[in-house]
Amino acid sequence: MTIDPRIAAAVNGENDEAAKAGTRPCLMNRRTFLLTGGVTTAVVMIGIPGLPEAQTPAVVATYPRKLITKLSSLKDDEPFDFEYPDEGQYAESILVKLGREAGGGVGPKSDVVAFNYTCTHQGGPLQGTYQAADKALGPCPLHLTTFDLTRHGIFISGQAYQSLPQVLLEVEGDDIYAVGMFGLIYGRFYNLQG
Ligand code: FES
């Protein structure tokens, strides 16, 4: 399929003076998203049919801010399990201090990361599969996919072709909060089921 170059330019912000000036990037890759925090409440102004002047804000996605654990309680390579963004199916997640800087990591060494526990291939349970030596999760008991926790949960081997959803974290004093998700949790149409 050929993409109209005018559409591509518009999508990439090439016709946008603010984007050209670097003051408002139109696209954000996964790394940038994570490094910048990634989670904001997206508000879109929607026009009301028949009332061209009227605009109303619509909240697209807001994740709960949830206290997970204390930074001081963590030891290298000792996973802490929790549920996020709710307590529904497939919400189980791992938080672990890798002892090595990682993509999206928080804490003084940027080595504390968190991921959903459900394999993105066919929903295999990854609980109990953390490998300290490789800083990886897996192999999945169903088809052996292993995910790299230092690189945003990208798959290293196996059948899955999507990264493990990463739980976005923030540190406030000694408290670690989950504040969002990057990636879609297996088995859900939306991460927030409402
Ligand atoms: S369900 Fe995990 S590799 Fe298939």
Correct CATH for 66-182 of 2.40.30.10, 3.40.50.300, 2.102.10.10, 3.90.1300.10: 2.102.10.10
- Measure the N-to-C terminal CA separation of the chain; round to a whole number of Å: 37
Answer whether 162 contacts ligand 1 (Cβ < 6 A). Answer: no
Answer whether 74 contacts ligand 1 (Cβ < 6 A). Answer: no
Alpha-carbon span 81 to 152, nearest angstrom: 18
Residue identifier of the C-alpha nearest atom 3 of ligand 1: 143
Element of type H or E holding 83: strand 80-83
Tens of pLDDT, residues 44-67:
454 545 555 555 555 445 899 999
Diameter of the chain measured on Cα atoms: 62
Answer whether 126 contacts ligand 1 (Cβ < 6 A). Answer: no
Tell me the whole-structure pTM to 2 decimals: 0.73
Tokens linked to 45: 């102004």
Domain ranges of the chain: 1-36, 66-182
Answer whether 140 contacts ligand 1 (Cβ < 6 A). Answer: yes
Tens of pLDDT, residues 173-190:
999 999 999 999 999 999
Alpha-carbon span 141 to 158, nearest angstrom: 11
Query: How many of the other CB atoms lie within 10 Å of CB of 75?
Result: 9
Alpha-carbon span 59 to 186, nearest angstrom: 23
Q: What is the mean pLDDT of residues 60-80?
A: 92
* Chain position carrying tokens 């990361």: 113
